[in-house]
Structure 1
Amino acid sequence: MHTDISPENPNPTDSTESDQRGWTPRLIGSLVTIVLLLEMLAVSYMMISIALPEIAAHYRTTQSAWLLTAFLLVGAVSCPLVGRLADMHGKRRILLGCTLGAALGSLVSALAPTYPILIAGRALTGLLTPCLFLSYSLIRDVYPKRTVPMAVSIATSGMGVITVAAPFLAGWLIDGFGFRSIFWFAVIGLSVLAVLLVLTTDESSVRTHARLDLVGATLLSVGLAGVLVAISFGPKWGWTAPGTLACLVGGALLVGGWLASARLVRDPLIDLRVLRTRSVALTTLGAGACYGAGVVYSLILPLMCMTPAALDLGYGFGVTAKGFAVFQAPFGAATMVGGIAVGLLVPRIRPRQLMTAGLVLETVAALLSAGVHDQKVLLMVFIALFGLGQGLIYASIPNLVIEAVAPQLQATAASIVAVAQSLVSAVVPILAFTILNSHIALVAEGRAFYADLGITLVFLLSAGVAFVGAIAAYALPRKIHALTLDRGSATGPAPSVATAGRG
């Protein structure tokens, strides 16, 4: 591996002056642009969830889940390929391409005359998913060193803002202009942000010389897609149905083929030596657990809070989608506080410790939520506690990746983490709904309402996933070194390490 020298950074080895620089108006503009871009990722997912009933009614479909699954599938399978392209051709360039690709997908959805075309547009919008790791990898490359911990913390935890505003914004757009307005909102927002990204943010000079592993990309992408389709639709099709088994077994075989090819080719899509290092592997496991626990917790909250109290199920406040924002507000605010805290504390406290603390907070909050379903104030406190944990973890993940690998491997390592986040986020909700569907209390007007025990068990599932992540985070090395890989075959020399700036 080696680093190119670009006109933007003619002497990347002489970084003393750059390291000492602080915040400038242009740098602040760059960070605001990146934060807003990542907010669009959260907006895209949340607004679709709120608009699902109207979309299903308009297209007269019962396959609403595809709107979420298509987004998730493309997000998961694109991460490794996007990460490698970013290492080869520049992180800002690929980030810009993903942003414009997502804008095009939103445009297709806004104009879609049929449901399959809407799904195709939604799938293309899944290119927003790699923007998360591309953003903090780019920050690591082009921001002054002293600003990096705070910048990545704000960029990743800034997504908490949208948990407060999205229900109000989505409700206003959908009620006033119809469901297509949320796609037009994305088209306009992403297009403006693409321009701002070019104007405010430098391109990284870090490059990795390698061939693009198209065979590996095909095997991994199609394999992951097959597994995720099987997991997503297994409960509907039946776990022993031919379609489910074909997707699951076929996908697993293709992923196995990718694993074999990755050991043979000179420049694999994902160098498995990166994943074999303890720091990257445990960070990946902890990040996947964080996202899985968070998805389940966020899934059960609106279901629980929007259930009518008159049903006397032991839970439920009967709030509307807009009214649920009252419960989301403490979550979003606490998430931002946790992220900012990481930016302030990282110079003195290791990201490993902060990530462990965040996962412990999530575990405790989910356990407390499992025990109390009918006390609004207490529940809001528990929600805030969970949000604080999420903020600590979100901001710790990029700091850990930055510590764990050399600049040339930032996007590649971060893409591995992103794949784990997407996969766990796809699997755990299936388990949650399997639990809930085993504890249906009653069905009214075609809607299932679940027994209090089912709600409790799902909160316990969230707590269990978070606890697994806490163990992984605690097991991270106390002293992390930046991994570098010799340029050679995938089966060649063992990884070498260079001591990170903070040992």
Structure 2
Amino acid sequence: MVSPSLPGSTGDVDQRWTPRLVISLLSIVLLLEMLAISYIMIATALPSIAAHYQTTQGAWLLTSFLLLGAVAAPLVGKLADMHGKRKMLLVCVALALVGSLVSAVAPSYGVLIVGRALTGFLVPCLFLSYSLIRDVFPAKTVALAVSIATSGMGIIAIPAPYITGWLVDGWGFRSIFWFAVIALVVLGGLIFATTKESSVRVRSRLDLVGAVLLGAGVAGILVGVSFGPTWGWSAGSTLGFLLGGIVLVVAWLVSASVIAEPLIDIKVLRERSVAFTVTAAGFMYGVSGLFTMLLPMLVMTPGMLGLGYGFGVDAKGTALFQTPIGLFTMIGGVIVGVLVGRDARPRMTLAAGAVSAGLGCGLAAFSHDSKGLLIVFGSLVGLGMGLGYASIPNLLIEAVPPQLQASTASIAGVFQSVFPAVLPVIAFTVMNNSYIAQLPPQVMQALPPGTVMYTSDGFKAAYLIAAAAAVACLLAALALPARIRQIGSPESVDDEIVTVG
């Protein structure tokens, strides 16, 4: 057996930042920014898209993206451990590029959904990026590089509304997809030119049965939850997807427990350090997704409606509220990178992030009628997001050996896709059932058809749901071991580790 190389373990690896390394990290950060900007651009362009294709099924633009990302993550993670993380990262970039191109020229809404689904291959890029950094960056740079890469996803909130408004107003909604095509071509080329391939490989058979069971199970659950409010929670279609998905996930768990080389090693997933990390990841990304979705709705509502909230800003005006979130997300990531680089425990920075995000959401629940206070509360959420985003990969790097890094982190990727899809559904189900505002008929006639306005108590309930998710993240963080020890490789895998190059 040849032992896998660790970052900085060879004498010829430079233990400092170089221009090539900086460009490599910058290209990875900007690639992950494409994941964040995708949400913002679609949300902003949705009215134009729905009007062009004359559809009321706008939710599929987000669901198809998250669905494929969640389904593909475990398979991509396993292939990355077997064939190389950089190779699979570039494959995902290429597939997302094709998806953006299909979306840009889509003649029908169905084709656009197919394109958006392919763009979901950006989701696995998150865990592939920090797994690759862990393998190929010098040891002294890993903690800071991973933290910057993962928390940098918030900083795009600063220019995104301006870029999106400029593109959509000037060239129509298709321009946002052409923007993605150009950006992915450039970033894919930069990563290819500046980022080394990991030398760590695992010789293993691909568990196709497990991939089908887990992928179909996650897909069923996500579709059922996403469209339950539309179809009705007691409808046969909703129950069929939900129950069918649960049965398939259980079947995958049974399959993974008995076969020699499962898609994801259940013994690793059962480890306290891994189980609570991926759970905390899901809740943190769920808080982020829900808060990010609620904020534009709240601030763009005209204050003259007398609902107790709303400032009547346009899409560009939301940048005033989103900019501090992005800035503090980046600050939180840098804090984690600096502290972890000095032997601080990422468990505690994750807990601090949950407290900050929960505090921001809780305060926003009780006071969302002041611009200044809402900006402060959003900054607290952003700081919590940055601390959480950066702590999660550092925890997995600390807990999991290099040869299992991508496949294990892929489960975090599943949680990070499913929770942001589920939590808003829960929040809007509560809001739609109890908190729809009753406005005078003349006011409703002046609003776009199909517009729904919520009471101030509706937003209070939604923000409290986000705060509860932050508390769940905090409990998961505190349940982690005080000092995490790296999991030993299973013997069947350990005997098949090779290094390349």
TM-score if structure 2 supplies the norm length? 0.94
> Number of paired residues?
485
Looking at structure 2, the residues matched to 420 and 380 of structure 1 have their Cα atoms a distance apart, in angstroms, of 28
Instruction: State yes or no: 1:287 paired with 2:291.
Output: no
Q: Which has the higher contact order (CA 8 A, sep 6+)?
A: 2
Looking at structure 1, the residues matched to 256 and 280 of structure 2 have their Cα atoms a distance apart, in angstroms, of 24
* Residue identity opposite 1:55 in structure 2: I
Correspondences of 1:439-478 after superposition (within 5 Å):
439-442=435-438, 444=444, 445=447, 446-478=450-482
Please report how far the alpha carbon of residue 300 of structure 1 lies from its aligned counterpart in structure 2 after TM superposition. Answer: 1.3
Worse-superposed segment, 303-312 or 17-26: 17-26
Please report how far the alpha carbon of residue 476 of structure 1 lies from its aligned counterpart in structure 2 after TM superposition. Answer: 1.0
Please report how far the alpha carbon of residue 18 of structure 1 lies from its aligned counterpart in structure 2 after TM superposition. Answer: 5.4
Looking at structure 2, the residues matched to 3 and 62 of structure 1 have their Cα atoms a distance apart, in angstroms, of 57
Q: Among 352, 365, 370, which residue is 2:365 paired with?
A: 370
Match of 1:217 in 2: 211
Q: Among 334, 346, 362, which residue is 1:340 paired with?
A: 334
Please report how far the alpha carbon of residue 487 of structure 1 lies from its aligned counterpart in structure 2 after TM superposition. Answer: 3.0
Instruction: State yes or no: 1:138 paired with 2:128.
Output: no
Please report how far the alpha carbon of residue 174 of structure 1 lies from its aligned counterpart in structure 2 after TM superposition. Answer: 0.4
Correspondences of 1:45-56 after superposition (within 5 Å):
45-56=39-50
SS in 2 for 1:72: helix
Q: Among 307, 332, 350, which residue is 1:313 paired with?
A: 307
Match of 1:385 in 2: 380
Structure 2 unmatched ranges of 5 or more: 495-501
Report if the CA contact (8 A) 1:19-1:145 is conserved.
no
Report if the CA contact (8 A) 1:160-1:333 is conserved.
yes
Correspondences of 1:182-261 after superposition (within 5 Å):
182-261=176-255
Correspondences of 1:13-32 after superposition (within 5 Å):
15-17=9-11, 21-32=15-26
SS in 2 for 1:449: coil
Please report how far the alpha carbon of residue 13 of structure 1 lies from its aligned counterpart in structure 2 after TM superposition. Answer: 9.6
Match of 1:482 in 2: 486
Report if the CA contact (8 A) 2:353-2:384 is conserved.
yes
SS in 2 for 1:21: coil
Looking at structure 2, the residues matched to 411 and 471 of structure 1 have their Cα atoms a distance apart, in angstroms, of 25
Worse-superposed segment, 424-433 or 136-145: 424-433
Report if the CA contact (8 A) 1:20-1:145 is conserved.
no
Looking at structure 1, the residues matched to 51 and 14 of structure 2 have their Cα atoms a distance apart, in angstroms, of 57
Looking at structure 1, the residues matched to 380 and 323 of structure 2 have their Cα atoms a distance apart, in angstroms, of 12
Instruction: State yes or no: 1:360 paired with 2:364.
Output: no
* Residue identity opposite 1:375 in structure 2: S
Q: Among 387, 397, 401, which residue is 1:406 paired with?
A: 401
Counterparts in 2 of 1:4 and 1:113: CA distance versus 1, 3 Å? farther
CA deviation profile, 1:310-330 (whole Å, cap 9, x unmatched): 011111111111101100011
SS in 2 for 1:317: coil
Report if the CA contact (8 A) 2:283-2:469 is conserved.
yes
Match of 1:329 in 2: 323
SS in 2 for 1:352: helix
Looking at structure 2, the residues matched to 14 and 61 of structure 1 have their Cα atoms a distance apart, in angstroms, of 53
Instruction: State yes or no: 1:436 paired with 2:440.
Output: no
Report if the CA contact (8 A) 1:4-1:205 is conserved.
no
* Residue identity opposite 1:258 in structure 2: W
Please report how far the alpha carbon of residue 14 of structure 1 lies from its aligned counterpart in structure 2 after TM superposition. Answer: 8.3
Looking at structure 1, the residues matched to 309 and 301 of structure 2 have their Cα atoms a distance apart, in angstroms, of 8
Please report how far the alpha carbon of residue 4 of structure 1 lies from its aligned counterpart in structure 2 after TM superposition. Answer: 7.8
In angstroms, what is the RMSD of aligned CA positions? 1.7
SS in 1 for 2:183: helix
CA deviation profile, 1:134-172 (whole Å, cap 9, x unmatched): 000000000000000010011011111211111100000
Looking at structure 2, the residues matched to 423 and 13 of structure 1 have their Cα atoms a distance apart, in angstroms, of 32
Structure 1 unmatched ranges of 5 or more: 6-10, 493-503
Please report how far the alpha carbon of residue 479 of structure 1 lies from its aligned counterpart in structure 2 after TM superposition. Answer: 1.2
Match of 2:80 in 1: 86
CA deviation profile, 1:241-296 (whole Å, cap 9, x unmatched): 12112111111111111111111111101111111100001111111110111111
TM-score if structure 1 supplies the norm length? 0.94
Please report how far the alpha carbon of residue 401 of structure 1 lies from its aligned counterpart in structure 2 after TM superposition. Answer: 0.5
* Residue identity opposite 1:457 in structure 2: A
